Structure 1
């Protein structure tokens, strides 16, 4: 189709153009003055983010802008727990600011988090004098958060925070002077301040002592962070760090799976390696294709006996190596073996595999497959699907003390 000539009606469009330029100049001046005079808020510009969050039902996107992480919760939900900051004295204009104030109470890269849940009242009409209240709380068990109320009549929005880091090591536990310390079975790593556990189950803030090459206790998996779950397979357990701050609906579903104590029907059924398109670190090789193969393992987390409800799209994080994301609105999901920057923000990333477990994902990707075609896309399907068991990992000092 030909394009209309830009030279027709020159005289008419010249006058219109001048009027348009004048309007744009006035608009620009208004925004400059508004920006200069706008009062600053130390929380609203946290991490340099500008996030637009909207909550709707099936199939709607919860989007972020300008990159980075997100911080949001689930509306019409009130979580209970011990208050570490009272909402009557702690107010914000948005759930994002409330969420980030909770996240800011996680010390260092890997915790501990003095706040792991938050409750915000953001509906002016429903909240009345309670509008803006931001209650910061501490759960007894973050994988089983206490619910006070939920439903259409609830005026609160609530969310969870699981910390920032991803350290997890297979270490023996050693009792030294009444304290439970770690004995690394592999090369020692620099650990941030964390909890010192006592045999009685109490805890104080301090540093975990490392006694490398000690075999005084049998190996035990210990999580320095809350919010890590395991996908157990016959080839090993993939430890997943969940992201409730950026994908609250998705994480809520995973926590519901944990209560079943089974995941009948959950399995990996597709496996494709990195081929010659991505290197060992997941970086795309220059001039190589973007697949197939697509560098991922795919499966389903739909458990028999648990009716699946469509999960809203929670767009936030890009798909990097180790990312765990839904296909569409679930329950099909995949684990990425590469940095798929070409996919941009097409998928809900609700967790990531800890780096030391990626060799298990790589192993699964090399298992025997057979070719298939899905919607005109060439894929590799596992000859023998791999069952998955979703399990919880040690997440608090009570769990540790019970095993000593």
Structure 2
């Protein structure tokens, strides 16, 4: 027997459908309103997303590690947006606002420096102020003040074609894109090295191929060991005669081919020749070798080596270390860094 249209069970079913439709409508309206109130969501250029994903949850790092800058530091420069008219709740939001100025496809960011006042007690009425500035030279930023009495937090953003340094070797030059938003303290140290007349003592002394554990694209081959060899070249970035201060741990993502990272707090570093998902959250990544220069790293890894044992683990050490020259990029590379990814 068919049910009547005014059957109580049918009525309850109709009421349930209406309730679900109402709930769905509320959720949809909330999503739209949230997007309008937060214009930064999904508005950043994917090229710069790739540079920040170095510390995102999807790569094993803690979400939000990037875009925090250096506390107790005020970077100078021509202010384009004043904090009194531009306020946020956190330094991360201020940094993201600066990143939105890098959405163009024609090179440098319109704003490359952000300064945020985030200490309520010290900042007073200036709390939440976000100042966006422009440097004359992004590799030599103008520092106003630094120290515990400074209430500002500052950071740099490198746009397309910016923030690329040269690591010169006798086998060619490795161009490295720096990540100041994810490893600001590390980048400050590298920029200090650039100001020296030489980098005596900077060298690569260890070289290990991918062996049979990784394919030519750097992907790990199933059911093979993770080393030795460990698919990397290792060295030190410490100029003789210059005091070295330990670098704090910063963004530690999954290591990819081309990743440049510190071992511990530095100055020991390595350049990975493969993808090392097994090294989750272990190393601060402060840059990445431009894809076209990885062939130079491959030349170095093929140099004559000798076996050595460190902490009961076999390593391959170069018979003759490769000296390094740290310097500014001699000429613009245009769009060559477009494919550089920190993931």
Normalized against structure 1, the TM-score is what? 0.67
Q: Does the aligned pair in 1 maintain the 2:252–2:282 contact within 8 Å?
A: no
Structure-2 change in CA distance of 1:108 and 1:283 (3 Å): farther
> RCO (CA 8 Å, sep 6+): is it higher in 1 or 2?
2
Q: Does the aligned pair in 2 maintain the 1:83–1:136 contact within 8 Å?
A: yes
Q: Does the aligned pair in 2 maintain the 1:64–1:315 contact within 8 Å?
A: no
Distance 2:272 2:330 in 1: 25
The answer as to 2:138 corresponding to 1:122 is no
Q: What residue in structure 2 maps to residue 368 of structure 1?
A: 304
Distance 2:295 2:227 in 1: 21
Distance 1:290 1:230 in 2: 30
- Which of 186, 191, 201 is the matching residue for 1:265? 201
Report deviation, 1:110: 6.8
- Which of 128, 142, 145 is the matching residue for 1:146? 142
RMSD across aligned positions (CA): 2.4
The answer as to 2:162 corresponding to 1:240 is no
Distance 1:96 1:395 in 2: 32
Distance 2:317 2:168 in 1: 20
Cα deviation code 1:275-323 (max 9, x no counterpart): 1111121111122211111000000001012100000000243211000
Q: What pairs with 1:159-238 in structure 2 (closer than 5 Å)?
A: 159-163=155-159, 225-238=161-174
Report deviation, 1:88: 1.1
Q: What pairs with 1:25-40 in structure 2 (closer than 5 Å)?
A: none
Bigger drift between 144-153 and 38-47 goes to 38-47
Which runs of no fewer than 5 residues in structure 2 stay unpaired? 1-29, 45-54, 334-343
Structure-2 change in CA distance of 1:333 and 1:92 (3 Å): same
Deviating beyond 6 angstroms after TM superposition, the runs of 4 or more aligned structure 1 residues are 36-40
- Which of 108, 132, 135 is the matching residue for 2:131? 135
The answer as to 2:90 corresponding to 1:94 is yes
Distance 1:349 1:47 in 2: 25
Distance 1:336 1:301 in 2: 16
Q: What residue in structure 2 maps to residue 302 of structure 1?
A: 238
Q: What pairs with 1:65-80 in structure 2 (closer than 5 Å)?
A: 65=57, 67=59, 70-80=66-76
Q: Number of aligned residue pairs: give it.
A: 289
The structure with the greater share of residues assigned to helix is 2
Distance 1:266 1:248 in 2: 21
Which runs of no fewer than 5 residues in structure 1 stay unpaired? 1-35, 49-62, 166-224, 398-404
